[in-house]
Amino acid sequence: MKTNTINKKEIEKFSKIAEEWWNPQGKFKPLHKFNPIRISYIKDNIMSSFNLRNNNKPLEKIKILDIGCGGGLLCEPMLRMGADVVGIDASNKNINVAKLHAKKNNLNIKYICTSPENFKTEKKFDVILNMEIVEHVDDIDLFLKSSSKLLKRNGLMFVATLNKTLKSYIFAIIGAEYIMRWLPIGTHDWEKFVKPEDLTVILQKYNLKLDSLDGMKFNLIKDKWSLSRDTSINYIGKFIKN
């Protein structure tokens, strides 16, 4: 039985390019373009679920855990909106980049180099972010089970990943990696992509019920991401813990 979700090859892959996290024109350029839609989706859903007011700090007092936080691209905007943020990542290099960037910007974010099954904490979180991470872990079942243990009852878990379809293979791998060169070749492994129904079944075992599922699509002409009904490539789900 596996007791670890860390995929060493995946960690090495991202550690090699860790210095690039905050360069909007660098290796993580697609993620910088992706970030605004992720931020607004998370913010809007947290606000409606917890009946929060839209003021300067709309996420005030909400405890968020960002799993696989990378260089902190989501942690920082969440903190700026008033949330209490912890970011964890299995890559030490990613964590060091995130710590440095937060310190430079005077942001009080707690960053820890760990994975959810090894994360020792007494407190549980209102919100857990698993964004573009489940397709890089070694054991998705154990990863989601460990993540769910860190979530409060009635808490929210957001999972964003890639669907396992022919379309996702053509667009996310052949298109994005080989033709457009948006991502380094080998960023994704289609075998590790997850169908929404499979994700839902796993999370149901750990008392997480699907509340909403949305697709995300990229408009080449406008050069921006938007929400969509089409979940055949990128999708994001909001799950509520019973």
CATH code at 41? Answer: 3.40.50.150
d(CA 34, CA 170): 19
Q: What is the pLDDT of residue 3?
A: 76
d(CA 107, CA 141): 33
Q: What is the pLDDT of residue 220?
A: 87
Give the pLDDT band of residue 2 (cuts 50, 70, 90): low
Residue 227 lies in a domain: yes
Long-range contacts of 116-120 (CB under 8 A, 24+ apart): 116/5, 116/67, 116/88, 116/143, 116/146, 116/147, 116/149, 116/150, 117/3, 117/4, 117/5, 117/142, 117/143, 117/146, 118/4, 119/88, 119/146, 119/150
Across all residues in the chain, what is the average pLDDT? 96
Taking only the tens place, the pLDDT of each residue in 161-184 is 999 999 999 999 999 989 988 888
Q: Determine the structural domain holding residue 210 and report its residue range.
A: 29-162+195-241
C-alpha torsion sign, points 207, 200, 224, 33: positive
Q: Given a cut of 90, is residue 203 above it in pLDDT?
A: yes
Residue 135 lies in a domain: yes
What is the total count of domains within the chain? 1
Q: Given a cut of 70, is residue 1 above it in pLDDT?
A: no
* Residues 86 and 107 sit within 8 Å (Cβ to Cβ): no
Give the pLDDT band of residue 46 (cuts 50, 70, 90): very high
Tell me the average pLDDT across 215-242: 96
Strands 234-241 vs 151-162: parallel, antiparallel or unpaired: antiparallel
Residue 7 lies in a domain: no
Residue 142 lies in a domain: yes
Q: Given a cut of 70, is residue 20 above it in pLDDT?
A: yes
Q: Given a cut of 90, is residue 54 above it in pLDDT?
A: no
Taking only the tens place, the pLDDT of each residue in 79-128 is 999 999 999 999 999 999 999 999 999 999 999 999 999 999 999 999 99
d(CA 142, CA 108): 30
The angle that helices 140-149 and 196-205 make with each other, rounded to 10 degrees, is 50
Residue 15 lies in a domain: no
Could you tell me the pTM of the whole model?
0.95
Residue 177 lies in a domain: no
Residue ranges of alpha helices (H) inside 6-122 are: 8-16, 29-49, 75-80, 92-104
The angle that helices 92-104 and 8-16 make with each other, rounded to 10 degrees, is 40
Tell me the average pLDDT across 17-32: 95
Q: Given a cut of 70, is residue 10 above it in pLDDT?
A: yes
Residue 180 lies in a domain: no
Tell me the average pLDDT across 141-158: 98
